[in-house]
Amino acid sequence: MVRAIVGANWGDEGKGKITDMLSKKADIVIRFQGGSNAGHTIINNYGRFALHLLPSGVFYEHTTSIIGNGVALNIPYLIKEINSIVEKGVPTPKILVSDRAQLLMPYHILQDSYEEARLAGKAYGSTKSGIAPFYADKYAKIGIQVSELFDNDILSEKVEKICLLKNTLFEHLYNKPALVKEEILNTLFEYRDMIAPYVCDVSEYLYNAIKSGKNILLEGQLGSLKDPDHGIYPMVTSSSTLAAYGAIGAGIPPYEIKEVIAVVKAYSSAVGAGEFVSEIKDENEAEELRKRGGDSGEYGATTGRPRRMGWFDAVASRYGCRIQGATEAVLTVLDVLGYLDKLPVCVGYEIDGKVTKDFPVTAKLKKAKPVYEYLEGWKSDIRGIKEYKDLPLNCRKYIEFIEKELGVPIKMVSNGAGREDIIYR
């Protein structure tokens, strides 16, 4: 059976922990989109890890971890990440990389940095990981597929074309040095040697795995509101963050995705620019939540940037679950809120004097003001509690209020950073 684990918000919902936990019963875990631009933080018996390219199932010896064709593959970054977890005592993971995945190259990272510098105050808040230029090249058909690494003639012809196009930008728009064909080819030959042991026809592998009844997890990056089609465009990522894309980015039939687990944060956070209706405007209030949040404060796992903080946004989260096709939800970081007397929940948006509960397009979102309901806090530490019935009454009321707003059953509640800090409902 195939299950997808995806984010319902702006990313940073705690998907890594949930994937790590569910991987205990999984045979295969697949990354199907994005690249090293986002991170999944995991705390387990091996220590604390921030994964960027590796699937979160790498900590179990029985799982096979797959980099799907939809991923922006930074080969040296992947190899470095594998080595870093092995150095910390994690058994060497079983890794497969799709022969149809495309390469994120050093010139993509350069272009990303150059463009952000050019845009200056109007920049999109890129992580400068090369993601946008990578996907632009992919759809412009000048990307380099893993399979092409093993054909020197194809590589030579393609790199020549890349240099012609990129150098027009680099030299005349950015006033930067030109790319050199021979240097790029030498880099590609190095990459070929590094990745060769892992290359596989992943779609065929997964076809056979599904036929034999294997348990498969699709692990999404970022969240619904960062999807380029359905998110807060243009302040979005460059690949689809939706479960539906898992079929394309992994190479499986869409009807094989039987369950979609949407991970929802008990409050809101976002990295980078973009519309964020329930954002806390009082910086002291925001900083208090930021310091208490996550597993070691709310800071980007990739960039280290302080996250923007907000109260739970029922409008955005309900939309996020809907657009993901969620069959169930997981509520994370609930334990963080135990210090509050009152819990604001954004239940509607006021736009041009009218209140809506539907998440609008970005142009209307810019005008939206939050409409809050306030719930009583529980004023206690809920970490360590294992049974739902043992949670404080006001805590259960908060969960049940959110569940009603989402319209999706909350099957799990995370009440701590560790792998076992989970309550099943």
Name the one residue in this structure whose structure tokens are 């005349």.
Answer: 172
Q: What single DSSP character describes residue 179?
A: P
C-alpha to C-alpha distance for 338 and 349, rounded to whole angstroms: 26
Report which residue type is found at 228: P
Q: How many residues does the chain have?
A: 425
- Establish whether 52 is a catalytic residue: no
Complete DSSP assignment for 281-330:
--HHHHHHHHHHSTTTSSB-TTT-PBPEEE-EEHHHHHHHHHHHT-SEEE
- Establish whether 12 is a catalytic residue: yes
Name the one residue in this structure whose structure tokens are 């997981």.
Answer: 330
C-alpha to C-alpha distance for 91 and 342, rounded to whole angstroms: 45
Are 19 and 220 in contact by the 8 Å Cβ rule? The answer is no
Are 338 and 377 in contact by the 8 Å Cβ rule? The answer is yes
Q: Taking the alpha carbons of 298, 304, 306, 308 in that order, is the dihedral positive or negative?
A: negative
To the nearest 10 degrees (0 to 180), the angle between helices 75-87 and 181-195 is 40
Q: How far is CA 73 from CA 69, 144, 189, 236, in A?
A: 9, 10, 15, 19
Distance of CA 272 to the CA centre of its chain: 14
C-alpha to C-alpha distance for 293 and 315, rounded to whole angstroms: 22
**Bridge partner list, 40:** 51
C-alpha to C-alpha distance for 267 and 111, rounded to whole angstroms: 35
Q: Which one of the listed residues 20, 40, 99, 421 is annotated catalytic?
A: 40
For the chain, how far is it from start to end, CA to CA, in angstroms? 22
Asked if omega into 392 is within 30° of 0 (cis), the reply is: no
List residues with catalytic annotation: 12, 40
